[in-house]
Structure 1
Amino acid sequence: MEKPQHSDADSDQEKSDFDEVIGTHKSWLKSVLGLGALEAKLWVTSSAQLLALMCGVIFLLLTTWLLIIASSAAIAWSYGFSLVGILLTATLVTFLSSIVLLYLVKQTLKSMDFTRTFDAIIPTEDE
């Protein structure tokens, strides 16, 4: 029995079909990557805008806190409290506030435990 001979036309047709499949996949991958790049660009822009807005909120909250302390100090001074006592009280209130915020930061960091994620990705030898 003779083996059927592939003609050059069949081989060119297969090569053409293969090139077409590769071209289709390349164009699909390019559109998917383009969409991903567009989404990433929108995400980065939105994140920058959110960061700027949060900085504004933090600035306003800090200003409000200082004005509350200044208003309390002015009211206390109008009632005859000593200026040194008012300043020491304001300093103590600010210091205690920073301790409370530091405690909240530590609690937040403690709750950000990534060991479950690491264990899921890279199991320990015990498992």
Structure 2
Amino acid sequence: METPQHSDSPQKKSDLDDVIDTHKSWLKSVLGLGALEAKLWVTSSAQLLALMCGVIFLLLTTWLLIIASSAAIAWSYGFSLAGILLTATLVTFLSSIVLLYFVKRTLKSMDFTRTLDAIIPTDEE
């Protein structure tokens, strides 16, 4: 005599296999979607980086042309070449200090501890 449990065992195993296969296919599709999103993100990031390099090049060229134009105007008004070069050097140096200030301020504001605390709260909170 067979007990009903032995006759249901292959059916239960088949149902469990179906659930596992369904979950595996779902996980595979979710991971595939994540991989596709990552590829799109990397491609978009590379394009953005290339565009930003172009913008930086144009801004740098514009800045140098502004300095050169100011130097040419100063030269036409009779300023000495040494004074023009010294002023251009000073303006460029002061500009780099201002940019360094903005870099430091941005790096200081990039604090990931708030995100970490939101994900994994500490006992103190």
Shorter-chain TM range is 0.7 to 0.9
Could you say if the C-alpha distance between residues 18 and 114 of structure 1 is closer, same or farther in structure 2, counting changes exceeding 3 Å? Answer: closer
Per the alignment, residue 6 of structure 2 pairs with 6
Could you say if the C-alpha distance between residues 86 and 41 of structure 1 is closer, same or farther in structure 2, counting changes exceeding 3 Å? Answer: same
CA distance in 1, matches of 2:30, 2:96: 47
Query: How many percent of aligned residue pairs carry the same amino acid?
Result: 90
State which of 50, 53, 56 in structure 2 corresponds to 1:52: 50
CA distance in 1, matches of 2:14, 2:124: 54
Per the alignment, residue 41 of structure 1 pairs with 39
Which SS does the other structure have where 2:63 is aligned?
A: helix
CA distance in 1, matches of 2:96, 2:115: 32
CA distance in 2, matches of 1:66, 1:121: 47
Structure 1 length-normalised TM = 0.86
Could you say if the C-alpha distance between residues 116 and 95 of structure 1 is closer, same or farther in structure 2, counting changes exceeding 3 Å? Answer: same
Per the alignment, residue 16 of structure 1 pairs with 14
CA positional deviation for 1:93: 0.4
Per the alignment, residue 94 of structure 2 pairs with 96
Count, aligned residues: 125
Which SS does the other structure have where 2:4 is aligned?
A: coil
CA distance in 2, matches of 1:123, 1:4: 50
Which portions of structure 1, spanning 4 or more consecutive aligned residues, are displaced by more than 6 angstroms?
A: none
Could you say if the C-alpha distance between residues 17 and 62 of structure 1 is closer, same or farther in structure 2, counting changes exceeding 3 Å? Answer: same
What RMSD over aligned residues (CA atoms) do the two structures have, in Å? 2.3
Deviations 1:27-50 (A, max 9, x none): 111111101100010001000110
Structure 2 length-normalised TM = 0.87
Could you say if the C-alpha distance between residues 124 and 24 of structure 1 is closer, same or farther in structure 2, counting changes exceeding 3 Å? Answer: closer
Which SS does the other structure have where 1:5 is aligned?
A: helix
CA positional deviation for 1:119: 3.4
CA distance in 2, matches of 1:48, 1:83: 43
Unaligned 5+ runs, structure 1: none
